[in-house]
Structure 1
Amino acid sequence: MRVEMLEDLLLPGPNLMVRQLTTVDGNLVVDAAGCGPPGSCPRCTHPATRVHSRYRRQISELPVGGRGLIVRLHVRRFICDQIQCPRRTFVEQVAGLTESRRRSSPAVRSAMRAVAMELGGRPGQRLCAKLRLPGRRTALMSRLVAPPVPAQAPRILGIDEFAFRKGRTYGTVLVDVETSRPVDVLPHHETCSIAAWLQEHTGAEIVCRDRLMAFTKAIRQAAPGALEVADRRQLLQNLSTAVEKTCRRHRACLRRYATTEAGPPSAAPATPLLDRVRQRHRDVNELTATRHATHEAGPPGMPPCVIGTVGLTTSSPRHATGAQVYSTRSPTTCSTASGPVVRVPCSSTASCLRSATPVATTP
């Protein structure tokens, strides 16, 4: 078909006549009508000769230039003249555009099926809104249909279980190992259902199965000539289980060998970070020892009675150097060899002890 107009490029086909192109709400609307010969009855395949009525259908097509494409198609309803045919009327169909009881073209449904396969429901709906495709969540999920199951099982068949709901409901998946594509899904992982499937689909020469005993019984019942093998994961799991059992059985021997053969613990290698940590640890210990010694001995020249009644304040780092900073609430006096010593509260939060001149006492 030679392309002469834009309508021929958008809607190719000899059985369609485009009447008008308009833009409505950002969508491109094409007003067209079917102009082909009368079709045949889909029930009896007899060609029609009379027109019953006409009506308009609205078909969604793939977007063009970032705009949605809607085809308002005027179609004819024909009469089936065959008396034996139970169907009295039928509607003409435009090849590549319309199908019975469909509001979208085959190309749109194929795109929706691809989006549903990759993204699913709500994510696919958001992508369809950006691509200007008529795809809602339920419409996308309805496009997902089960693929046809081959009549014959693959040469290398893989059988494994999976969980519909972990701990409660399990099913069985059958995979073609050579192509890495799923073949069928069974709602149970019981021996009877797997054996029935293997009897209906013969041809499996090698069966790569799980460790479940139901799979072994089903293969022996339905395919006794097939070779049973385990995949890499099952082999590694069997090996780890056997090693764990052996180690648990000889735990006493391993512990005795470890205590007799073990040498002195090796020292950690010297690193700059380790040297800094050790030096800081020594500095902290020395500082702590100096503070405790100052707290116990008190400042030089302080009488023991004052040391017992005056507590050193630990809120200042000067105490570690022997600073004469103390905590007090009221001035008190005590007798020493050189005379009375008066403890006077300071204006700051800490208190200092000062030596006063001998106080003259009245006889």
Structure 2
Amino acid sequence: MAFPRLASVMVEQVLVDEGGVVLTARTATREAACPGCGTLSGRLHGGYQRRLADLAVAGQKVVIDLAVRRFVCQAAPCARRTFVEQIDGLTERFARRTPALRRTLERIALALAGRPAARLAAHLSIPVSANSLIRMVRRLPDKQSSVAPRVMGVDDFAFKKGHVYGTIILDVETGERVDVLPDRTSETLSAWLRAHPGAEIVCRDRASAYAEAVRTVCPDATQVADRYHLWKNLCEAVEKCVAQHRTCLTGPAEDTSTDNPAAVKAGPAADDVPEEPVEGPRAIKRRQRHGAVHALYDKGVQIEVIAKTLGLDRKTVRRYAHAANPEEAPASVLADRDGRLPRRRTRGHRRPRCPR
């Protein structure tokens, strides 16, 4: 009951020591089928010992020392001359672990990956290195599907941030990865959608390339945004609105009545004196970028092509393209500091030094 995988072999010895449990066994079959042609052969060629790691029992590491035999294939057209017998559920070709242990380690590696999975495996008395777990995951076959999921999620990710990007396709209902595309262009996604029809709802970000691909190949599909991009769009809209109307905000009113003699003597602060705005280098750079982007965007050039031409990120180009004037492009409250910082520096304001 503890070792159902050993039902088809003969166990000769069980040794328990500080290192774990060692089971010595040998096969009992008289003939085996050739893996090349399937012909049964009973002609013995030789044998050797295989040492297989198995699932732990009672917190003890288990090792199976199995004696297997090599047979000669007697079929003339078969290219394989000799072969080793394999025990169902116990051995695999070139494997040093039982199938049960391999499946367990694969599940642990898929859930945790790398070092965390190796630490958990050691705690379960099935020690394995992090690199071995990663190799197990890489050997797993990819799930090939001929149709797209009903609710499909599309988003880009960075192979190398700022340089190389790809596209990941997910099944939103199950959360499983469906496929990974080498880039984030509309042509690549369109080709994938033609080869995998069936998407009814496409959850994507604001990328125009994805919208164009879905609109071209799947015109009946509903395009929606996920919660992250909804919140992101809302935050950017509020931040842009606040940045545009920041001049409408007034500071707290000062008490100039006679009840507060200190305020009367102090008078207005130096920072409250209106001065002419000073244009900083960032404002000049922002105006130049805005003009360069609109020079191409107004001619119908795609945002991705503009980004490659000017050497800018797509999100930056999109921000400038959708801005009516350079002041709206950054959409950040920090844009106001381009003129304020030089003014404060000319008045003698300095950052305090840190004590050594």
User: TM-score surpassing 0.5?
Assistant: yes
Q: 1:237-291 CA deviation, whole Å, 9 max, x = no partner?
A: 3344444444555555x34xx68xx8888xxxxxxxxxxxxxxxxxxxxxxxxxx
Structure 1 pair 130–178 and aligned structure 2 pair: CA distance change class (3 A): closer
Of 90, 97, 118, 2:111 maps to 118
CA distance in 1, matches of 2:42, 2:234: 77
Cα shift readout 1:104-155 (whole Å, capped 9, x = no counterpart):
0011111211222233222322332332214112211111135413221111
Question: 3-state DSSP class of the match of 1:74?
Answer: strand
Secondary structure at the counterpart of residue 143 of structure 1 = helix
Matched, 1:218 2:213: yes
Q: Which residue of 2 aligns with 1:89?
A: 82
Q: Is 1:142 matched with 2:135?
A: yes
Counterpart in 2 of 1:168? Answer: 163
CA distance in structure 2 between the aligned counterparts of 1:12 and 1:120, rounded to whole angstroms: 27
CA 1:30–1:228: 2 relative to 1, 3 Å: same
- Counterpart CA distance in 2 for 1:249 and 1:67 is 68
Q: Counterpart in 2 of 1:270?
A: none
Report the Cα distance in structure 2 between the residues aligned to 1:51 and 1:36, rounded to whole angstroms: 11
Please show how residues 276-315 of structure 1 align to structure 2 within 5 Å: none
Q: How does 1:8-19 map to 2 (within 5 A)?
A: 9-19=2-12
CA distance in 1, matches of 2:27, 2:59: 26
Residues 1:129 and 2:122 are matched in the alignment: yes
- Output the amino acid matched with 2:80: R
Q: How do 1:185-224 and structure 2 match up within 5 A?
A: 185-224=180-219
What is the CA–CA distance in structure 2 between the aligned matches of 1:199 and 1:158, rounded to whole Å?
Answer: 16
Match of 1:227 in 2: 222
Q: Is the 8 A contact 1:31 1:72 kept in 2?
A: yes
Is the counterpart of residue 155 in structure 1 residue 145 in structure 2?
no
Taking a change above 3 Å as real, the CA distance of residues 25 and 237 of structure 1, as seen in their structure-2 partners, is: closer
Mind listing any 5+ residue stretches in structure 1 that lack a counterpart? Answer: 1-7, 266-363
- The alpha-carbon distance between structure 1 residues 176 and 101, as it changes in their structure 2 partners (threshold 3 A), is same
Q: Contact between 1:50 and 1:78, CA under 8 Å: does it hold in 2?
A: yes
- Cα-to-partner distance string for 1:45-90 (whole Å, 9 max, x where unaligned): 1111311111111111111122111111111111111111111111
Matched residue type, 1:186 = L
Q: Which has the higher contact order (CA 8 A, sep 6+)?
A: 2
Q: Measure the CA separation in 1 of the matches of 2:236 and 2:114.
A: 42
The 1:15–1:196 alpha-carbon spacing in structure 2 relative to 1, beyond 3 Å, is: same
For 1:77 and 1:24, how far apart are their aligned partners in 2?
31
**Moved >4 Å (runs of 4+):** 11-14, 243-252, 262-265
User: Structure 1 residues 243 and 129 mapped into 2: Cα distance closer, same or farther (>3 Å)?
Assistant: closer
Do the aligned partners of 1:60 and 1:134 also contact (CA within 8 Å) in 2? Answer: no
Q: Does 1:56 align with 2:49?
A: yes
- Measured in 2, the distance between the counterparts of 1:243 and 1:124 equals 43
> How many Å separate the matches in 1 of 2:234 and 2:59?
58
**Aligned equivalents of 1:232, 1:21: Cα separation in 2:** 58
Shift of 1:23: 3.0
AA paired with 2:66? L
* Residue 31 (structure 2) aligns with: 38
Q: TM-score with structure 1 length normalisation?
A: 0.63
Tell me which amino acid in the other structure corresponds to 1:73.
L
Query: Post-superposition shift, 1:17?
Result: 0.3
| C-alpha RMSD of matched pairs (Å) | 2.4
Alpha carbons of structure 1 residues 18 and 177: separation in structure 2 relative to 1, 3 Å = same
Q: CA-to-partner distance for each residue in 1:160-185, whole Å, 9 max, x for gaps? A: 11223332332222111222332222
Unaligned runs of 5+ in 2: 256-356
| Displacement of 1:24 | 4.9
Structure 1 pair 191–263 and aligned structure 2 pair: CA distance change class (3 A): same
Contact 2:33 2:40 in 1 (8 A): yes
